[in-house]
Structure 1
Amino acid sequence: MSRQITVLSWNFENNGGDDAAKRLRAHELLVSLNPDLLFRQEMWRADADGNKILYELEAVLGMRGWLGPQACTAIFADLELFHPVREWPVTGPMWVLPPTALAMRYLPAGRDAAPLALASYHLNYASGTTRLAEAEWLSTWADKKWTTPAGESIRMACLAAGDNNSYPIPGVEGDPALPVLEEIENEPHRLHRSYVALDGTRVMDTRPDEALRTAGLEDVARHRAVKYGNTAAVSRTVNACETHGPDARIDRVYATSDLLAAVSGFDVIEVSEEDSDHHIVRFTLDGDCLSDVLNQQAHALAELTAS
C-alpha cells in the first residue's frame, strides 16, 4: 500500500503570544495529526534569542523547521521523507509578511526526480491592492525551474499554503458564501476585505484567488469538491463573528495541476476559538503517485534529449 503523506497548514494566532503553554498545546495537537509537511503562519518572535522558539517547536514536532523572513511564516518537514535542496530568502519586493519558500526533494521518488517548490505565505490583512500584488509574486513559484545533473532545466511542481485574507471565487457547493459588504459591522474591515470594481461598486475581494488560478495554481479544496464531491474540503477555516462577518474559507492550498492527481484527501480540523482564530487545513498525498509526478518531467526530458 502506498504511503499517505499528511500535509497541514495553520495560522496559529500570534504563535501563542507570550503563552508558552498554549503554544505547546497547539503543537502537540499538530503532532497528534501526524504531519509529514507543515505550513505555518504567524510565527511571531520565533526568531528571537537566536531562533529559540523555532528550535523548541522543532523538538515538539519532531520535524526540522525553516523560518521565513521576519518570522512571519515557516515550513516544517519530516527529514526521513523530505530533503531541502535550496531556499529563496528573497521572495520579491511586495511582501508585507514575507513567505517561507524552498525546494525539497521527496526522497522516496529517488535522486533523479524533480524537487517540489514549497511556499508558506500570509497575504496582507489591510490592503486589497497589496494582496493582489503579493498573489502575483506568489505565482512565480508555479514557474520555478530546476537544473538537472545533465544541465537541463525543468519546471518544478509547486505547493503553496497559507492565509489569503480574502475569499475564493464563489460557485462551489459547500463553499461558505461571500459576506455582504454592508452587513460587516466593522467599517475598516469592509475596506480591508473589498475593492472597487470597474463599474465603481465595492465588492468582496476574490482577486488573489483569481490571480493564482490564472497562473495555473489550482485551489486544491475546490478541485476536491468539484471532482469528487468532497464538500468537507471547502469547510470554513475561520468562524463567523459579529464584527467581521460570516464563516469564511480564508486559508487555502494551491498546487500546480500536475500535483492534483496525487491528492488523496482534504478536510479542515476545527479548533476552539480559545486556541486560535483559524482552523487547521489538512490534506493527504499518495506517495507513489507523488513519486510518479516528480519523475515524469525528468523522464520526459530524458526521452526528448535521447531523440
Structure 2
Amino acid sequence: MKRITVLCWNLERNGGGSHIARFRAHERLRSLNPHLVLRQEMWSSDADGHRIMYELESILGMRGWLGPKSSTAIFADQDVFEPVRNWPDTGPMWVQPPTALTLRFRPAGVESMPLAVVSYHLNYASSGNRVLESEWLTTWADKKWETPGGQTFTTPALLGGDSNSFATPGTPKDPPLPELSEIQDRPHRLHRSYVGPDGRRRMDTRPDEILRTAGLRDVARYWATAPGGDAAAVARTVNGCPTHGPDARIDRIYATTDLLAALLDVDVIEVPLTESDHHIVRVDLDGDVLTDILKRHISAPHPAA
C-alpha cells in the first residue's frame, strides 16, 4: 500500500481574503499529494453559502468538513478515508472550535476499526483556556466503537493543530523554550506564559503535558529520537521575530501509541512568510501497517468466547 500523507497547516487568515493567495497555498498542499489535511484559520469559509469551502475542496480534490465558527477544517481523500460519524459538539469552552471526525481507512475494510481525527486551534490569548481545551481534546483519545460483531474498542486517534504553546523540553534539536524577557511584545508574554505554584511566570507547556499524560504522543518528538528517525522532525513551525521571540514548534500532531508503528516520516515544510506565518507539518504513514493496526481487532477473541 502506498504511503499515507497527513498535512497540518495554519494558513494565516486563510489567505487574508485573497482568492489568489488561497489558490496558491492550496495548490502547494495539493502538490504534496496528501490523503488528510488538517487546516486552521479557516476564516469566512462558511460565508456566501460556504463558497470558499467548496473552492478549497475543488483545488485540493478532496472532501472537506468545516468545524464550528469556521475556525478549523479537515479534508480527506475519499478514495482512502470514509466518514462514519462527526462530532459537532466539541465542548463549551472553545474560542476556536476543532473539527472532529471518525474516519474509516478504506483499504482496511468495512469491519476495521476507524480513526478519530481532529484539527484543533488552541486559544491564542489565554493559557488557562488552553488547559481546558487541551483536556477536552483528550476525549478523542477515548472514543469507543462497536464492531459489526458486537465488540467495543477504543479507536486510535490522530490530532493536529496550532497549539499556541510550547513542547515540553528534552528532545535534541527541538527549539528551546524562549526566555520570557526575549519576548518584546508585553501582551504576547502573557499569552505564552502562566504563573506557576511558586508565583513565577513560566513559558506555557501545559497543553503538551496534558496530551502526553493522556497517552497521546507528539509524533515529531517520537520520530526525532526513534531508531531510523530524524531529528529534523522537530524543526521550527513558526519563525522567530523581534516581538514574539525565537523560533518555536507551535504546530504539532499527536497520535495514540497504537499508531506509532505505522510512522514512516515526520518533517516540516517551510513556506515563505509572505504566504503564512506557520509552516506545514507532514506525517507519512505506512498504509499496510496502518491496515494491520486497524484490523487487529478482527482476529481478537470475542469477549464471550
TM-score by length of 1: 0.98
Q: Which residue of 2 aligns with 1:109?
A: 108
What is the letter of the counterpart of residue 88 of structure 1?
W
Q: Which residue of 2 aligns with 1:94?
A: 93
Secondary structure in 1 aligned to 2:17? coil
Shift of residue 243, structure 1, vs aligned partner: 0.1
Q: Which residue of 2 aligns with 1:160?
A: 159
What is the letter of the counterpart of residue 42 of structure 2?
M
1:78 aligns with 2:77: yes
Q: Which residue of 2 aligns with 1:68?
A: 67
What is the letter of the counterpart of residue 5 of structure 2?
T
1:256 aligns with 2:256: yes
Check whether the contact 1:259–1:290 (CA below 8 A) recurs between aligned residues.
yes
CA offsets, 1:213-266, max 9 Å, x none?
A: 000110000000111341110000000000000000000000000000001101
Mark the runs of 5 or more structure 1 residues left unpaired by the alignment.
none
Q: Which residue of 1 aligns with 2:283?
A: 283
1:245 aligns with 2:245: yes
Provide the rounded CA distance (Å) in 2 between the counterparts of 1:121 and 1:177: 23
Provide the rounded CA distance (Å) in 2 between the counterparts of 1:19 and 1:207: 35
Matches for 1:1-307 after TM superposition, within 5 Å: 2-228=1-227, 229-300=229-300, 303-305=301-303, 307=305
Provide the rounded CA distance (Å) in 1 between the counterparts of 2:258 and 2:60: 29
Secondary structure in 2 aligned to 1:56? helix
CA offsets, 1:48-69, max 9 Å, x none?
A: 0111000000000000000000
Secondary structure in 2 aligned to 1:131? helix
What is the letter of the counterpart of residue 253 of structure 1?
I
Provide the rounded CA distance (Å) in 1 between the counterparts of 2:215 and 2:136: 13
Shift of residue 18, structure 1, vs aligned partner: 1.5
Provide the rounded CA distance (Å) in 2 between the counterparts of 1:112 and 1:18: 43
Secondary structure in 1 aligned to 2:288? helix
Check whether the contact 1:44–1:71 (CA below 8 A) recurs between aligned residues.
yes
Check whether the contact 1:13–1:42 (CA below 8 A) recurs between aligned residues.
yes
Provide the rounded CA distance (Å) in 2 between the counterparts of 1:299 and 1:73: 37
Secondary structure in 2 aligned to 1:136? helix
Shift of residue 148, structure 1, vs aligned partner: 1.4
What is the letter of the counterpart of residue 52 of structure 1?
R
More deviation in 245-254 or 226-235? 226-235
Provide the rounded CA distance (Å) in 2 between the counterparts of 1:3 and 1:49: 38
Provide the rounded CA distance (Å) in 1 between the counterparts of 2:297 and 2:95: 34
What is the letter of the counterpart of residue 115 of structure 1?
P
Shift of residue 306, structure 1, vs aligned partner: 5.6
Provide the rounded CA distance (Å) in 2 between the counterparts of 1:194 and 1:74: 27
Check whether the contact 2:7–2:280 (CA below 8 A) recurs between aligned residues.
yes
Shift of residue 298, structure 1, vs aligned partner: 3.8
CA RMSD of aligned residues (A): 0.9
Check whether the contact 2:218–2:254 (CA below 8 A) recurs between aligned residues.
yes
Secondary structure in 1 aligned to 2:34? coil
Mark the runs of 5 or more structure 2 residues left unpaired by the alignment.
none
Provide the rounded CA distance (Å) in 1 between the counterparts of 2:299 and 2:168: 36
Shift of residue 277, structure 1, vs aligned partner: 0.1
Check whether the contact 2:4–2:284 (CA below 8 A) recurs between aligned residues.
yes
Secondary structure in 1 aligned to 2:7? strand
Check whether the contact 2:265–2:283 (CA below 8 A) recurs between aligned residues.
yes
Check whether the contact 2:7–2:281 (CA below 8 A) recurs between aligned residues.
yes
Check whether the contact 1:196–1:202 (CA below 8 A) recurs between aligned residues.
yes
Check whether the contact 1:174–1:235 (CA below 8 A) recurs between aligned residues.
yes
TM-score by length of 2: 0.98
Check whether the contact 2:151–2:302 (CA below 8 A) recurs between aligned residues.
no
Check whether the contact 2:163–2:207 (CA below 8 A) recurs between aligned residues.
yes
Q: Percent identity?
A: 62
Check whether the contact 1:154–1:298 (CA below 8 A) recurs between aligned residues.
no
Secondary structure in 1 aligned to 2:37? strand
